[in-house]
């Protein structure tokens, strides 16, 4: 296959394999090698590849209408998708704003929060509070609320000032004699102190991933943590923005991860699994009062991108979500997720370099450590995550390893997010290949 020298890749020094086809949970490259997509790319491909119903829906939409700019028109397919999303959303989340991906969703949510406070006459509210070791996207607003120092470092002069508090990171944060509930309340108290320091009337929103994803492996919240945060936000009129770009749309076994926490945010961002990778699409789900404020005030949400509500993207997402409902795939996520967890624990639970295995549904993270007894990370200069990724690709396995640090707070992690349609046999292969990959590098 001919190779262009003009496109440049993230890793500037090397060219990745050329992907040519995909079927189910498998991808093939131009050399004929097959890979199990055990991470759904970056927790995107929830239905796997080549799903005929999604492809047919996209074809039908292209034949009818590919694109109409949203400043002139809406489309039937965008309205249908909005109805489906609101129909299955947490209480009060009655409106949807479409965008083209996760970072765009976060940017839109941040600006919605700001505009809401301007329109209710509280323009002095200009601070966001977010969490360390989080990831909310790579655009400047999203990077500012994000807490991945390695990604932020060189762009810091361009970022708005955001206050970061501790994440809910039980493996490293909970004290030996502390219950998970007490740990959660300690974190809520830390947030309360931070709000007091900034002045409660100056804070717009607290931003968090319901289940952390792309920075410190999968970080699951302890019981009561988000309820405490919700109460605190309500007490001070602060919005709760939950970012479920990675952990949402069924990935953790319920459509929205916040359902398992018993909280409803004011703004909820989704992307990745919304369109399952068939088209770039994301969305912000919003509480009715936020949208009503803007409707009755300025009448305009002062934000937008050219491709928002793209008709083919909406058609793809509508088909993906209809397949998930029709085929009861959330049940499958829970069942297959339990199986994946048991296989991981059985095969890797006592591995000397696997410190922690944690997750929900089909969203699992492994934290890699040099020394299990003292939970010590590997030296960042070893670039373990990068070497593991290469070893896994040689084993025909796509995993999403992460590492990279400037402040010693990241360590090396592996994220698994296989498609919801994975069979038990495929899960077995994922775990076997992961074990072999790990043994090649540590």
Stretch that binds ligand PLP, among 5-13, 108-116, 134-142, 249-257 (CB under 6 A): 134-142
Least distance CB 280 / ligand PLP (angstroms): 8
Residue from 22, 40, 102, 276 touching ligand PLP (CB under 6 A): that is 102
Contact letters for ligand PLP, residues 178-217 (x by CB under 6 A)? -------------------------------x---xx---
- Residue 1's CB is within 10 A of a number of other CB atoms, namely 7
Min. distance of Cβ 257 from ligand PLP in angstroms? 11
Q: Please say whether the beta carbons of 368 and 354 come within 8 A.
A: yes
103 touches ligand PLP by CB under 6 A: yes
How does strand 163-165 pair with strand 127-131? parallel
Give 357-393 as a DSSP string: EEEETTEEEEEE-SBTTTTBPPPGGG-HHHHHHHHHH
- Single out the residue of 25, 27, 38, 42 in contact with ligand PLP (rule: CB under 6 A): 42
CB of 436 to ligand PLP, least distance (A): 27
Asked if residue 176 lies in contact with residue 371, where contact means CB atoms within 8 angstroms, the answer is no
C-beta of 380: minimal distance to ligand PLP in Å?
Answer: 21
250 is an interface residue for ligand PLP by CB under 6 A: no
Cα separation values, 82 from 185, 207, 318, 361, 424, Å: 36, 23, 9, 25, 34
Task: Identify the CA nearest to 314 among candidates 96, 139, 108, 24.
Answer: 96
Residue 137 makes contact with ligand PLP by CB under 6 A:
yes
Element (H, E) at 119: helix 102-119
Nearer to ligand PLP, 104 or 426 (CB): 104
- State the nearest-atom distance from the C-beta of 352 to ligand PLP, in Å: 29
Using rule CB under 6 A, residue 279 touches ligand PLP: no
d(CA 83, CA 73): 17
Stretch that binds ligand PLP, among 102-110, 220-228, 394-402, 409-417 (CB under 6 A): 102-110
Q: Which of 67, 99, 98 is nearest to 82 (CA)?
A: 98
- Which residues sit at the interface with ligand PLP, rule CB under 6 A? 42, 101-103, 106, 135-137, 209, 213-214, 243, 245-246, 271
């Amino acid at each position: 296959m001919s190779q262009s020298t003009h496109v440049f890749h993230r890793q500037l020094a090397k060219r990745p394999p050329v992907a040519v086809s995909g079927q189910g949970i498998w991808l093939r490259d131009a050399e004929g090698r097959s890979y199990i997509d055990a991470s759904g790319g970056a927790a995107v491909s929830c239905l796997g590849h080549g799903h005929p119903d999604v492809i047919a829906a996209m074809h039908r939409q292209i034949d009818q209408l590919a694109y109409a700019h949203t400043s002139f028109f809406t489309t039937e397919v965008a309205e249908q998708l909005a109805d489906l999303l609101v129909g299955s959303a947490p209480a009060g989340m009655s409106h949807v704003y479409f965008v083209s991906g996760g970072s765009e969703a976060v940017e839109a949510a941040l600006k919605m929060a700001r505009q809401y406070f301007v329109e209710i006459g509280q323009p002095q509210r200009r601070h966001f509070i977010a969490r360390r070791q989080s990831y909310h996207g790579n655009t400047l607003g999203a990077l500012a609320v994000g807490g991945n120092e390695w990604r932020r470092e060189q762009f810091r002069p361009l970022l708005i000032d955001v206050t970061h508090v501790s994440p809910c990171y039980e493996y490293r944060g909970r004290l030996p004699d502390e219950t998970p509930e007490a740990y959660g309340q300690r974190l809520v108290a830390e947030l309360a102190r931070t709000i007091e320091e900034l002045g409660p009337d100056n804070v717009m929103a607290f931003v968090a991933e319901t289940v952390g994803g792309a920075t410190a492996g999968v970080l699951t919240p302890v019981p009561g943590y988000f309820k405490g945060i919700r109460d605190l936000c309500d007490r001070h009129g602060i919005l709760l923005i939950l970012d479920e770009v990675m952990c949402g749309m069924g990935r953790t076994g319920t459509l929205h991860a916040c359902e398992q926490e018993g909280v409803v945010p004011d703004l909820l961002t989704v992307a990745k699994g919304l369109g399952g990778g068939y088209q770039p699409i994301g969305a912000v789900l919003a509480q009715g009062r936020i949208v009503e404020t803007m409707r009755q005030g300025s009448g305009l949400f002062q934000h937008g991108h050219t491709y928002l509500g793209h008709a083919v993207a909406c058609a793809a997402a509508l088909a993906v979500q209809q397949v998930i409902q029709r085929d009861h795939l959330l049940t499958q996520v829970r069942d297959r997720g339990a199986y994946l967890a048991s296989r991981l624990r059985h095969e890797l639970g006592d591995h000397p370099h696997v410190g922690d295995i944690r997750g929900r549904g089909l969203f699992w993270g492994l934290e890699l450590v040099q020394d299990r007894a003292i939970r010590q990370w590997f030296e960042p200069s070893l670039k373990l995550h990068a070497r593991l990724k290469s070893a896994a690709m040689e084993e025909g396995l796509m995993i999403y390893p992460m590492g990279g640090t400037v402040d010693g707070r990241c360590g090396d992690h592996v994220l698994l997010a296989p498609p919801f349609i994975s069979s038990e046999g495929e899960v077995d292969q994922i775990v076997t290949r992961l074990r072999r990959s790990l043994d090649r590098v540590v």
